[in-house]
């Protein structure tokens, strides 16, 4: 699956495919951009197949439904949604185009890299573990970025 979002502030590309031999992907993503901001979430359900997809899709749906909230509130909602599910790792990125600022939070094996035109890179280490519905501490990063910066978010799948 390929999805593209583009406006005067951003060009995005998402590429996702199922593991070999699997009919359903255990990862999910949500991405939406308008003239003011971009919100993007990548979730990796634990394991593979339909139960992994159930967890990652729940995160995708929550981010879509609560996109107007701050990143830490959304990630906490995602954590609570994992009660009685297999669990998932997740990453949420919100970019404010007007302020040229982003906020990012990640739990588990979803990675984030920012590379700026001046050659600087930002690679925050995610909190280890996964979302499970149990109490969790989050590390949210907020920073500015240069025009022309490249953001990459990926899972290990």
Reduced to 3 states (helix: H, G, I; strand: E, B; else coil), residue 81 is helix
Answer with the residue of higher pLDDT: 31 or 14.
Answer: 31
Looking at residue 87, its pLDDT comes to 96
Looking at residue 25, its pLDDT comes to 86
Q: 154 and 111 in contact (C-beta within 8 Å)?
A: yes
Which domains occur in the chain, in start order? 2-154 (3.60.40.10)
Q: Which of 131, 156, 142, 152 is nearest to 94 (CA)?
A: 142
Instruction: Name the residue with tokens 């593991």.
Output: 19
Half-sphere exposure of 126 (CA within 13 A, CB side): 23
pLDDT tens across 76-115, in order?
999 999 999 999 999 999 999 999 999 999 999 999 999 9
- Take residue 135 and report the two structure tokens written for it: 């109490």
* Model confidence band, residue 131 (pLDDT cutoffs 50, 70, 90): very high
Q: Which of 92, 75, 94, 66 is nearest to 133 (CA)?
A: 75
pLDDT tens across 4-26, in order?
667 778 777 676 667 777 778 88
Cα–Cα distance measured from residue 29 to residue 44, given in angstroms and rounded to the nearest whole number: 9
Looking at residue 145, its pLDDT comes to 94
pLDDT tens across 40-81, in order?
999 999 988 899 999 999 999 999 999 999 999 999 999 999
């Amino acid at each position: 699956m390929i999805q593209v979002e583009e406006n005067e502030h951003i060009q995005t590309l998402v590429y996702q495919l199922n593991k070999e031999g699997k009919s359903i992907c255990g990862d999910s993503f949500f991405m939406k951009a308008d003239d003011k901001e971009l919100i993007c979430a990548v979730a990796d359900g634990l394991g593979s197949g339909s139960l992994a997809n159930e967890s990652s899709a729940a995160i995708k749906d929550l981010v879509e439904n609560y996109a107007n909230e701050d990143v830490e509130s959304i990630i906490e909602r995602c954590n609570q949604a994992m009660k009685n599910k297999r669990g998932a790792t997740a990453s949420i990125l919100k970019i404010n185009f007007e302020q040229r600022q982003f906020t990012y939070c990640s739990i588990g094996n979803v990675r984030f890299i920012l590379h700026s035109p001046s050659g600087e890179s930002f690679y925050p280490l995610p909190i280890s573990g996964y979302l499970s519905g149990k109490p969790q501490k989050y590390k949210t990063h907020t920073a500015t970025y240069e025009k022309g910066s490249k953001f990459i978010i990926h899972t290990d799948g």
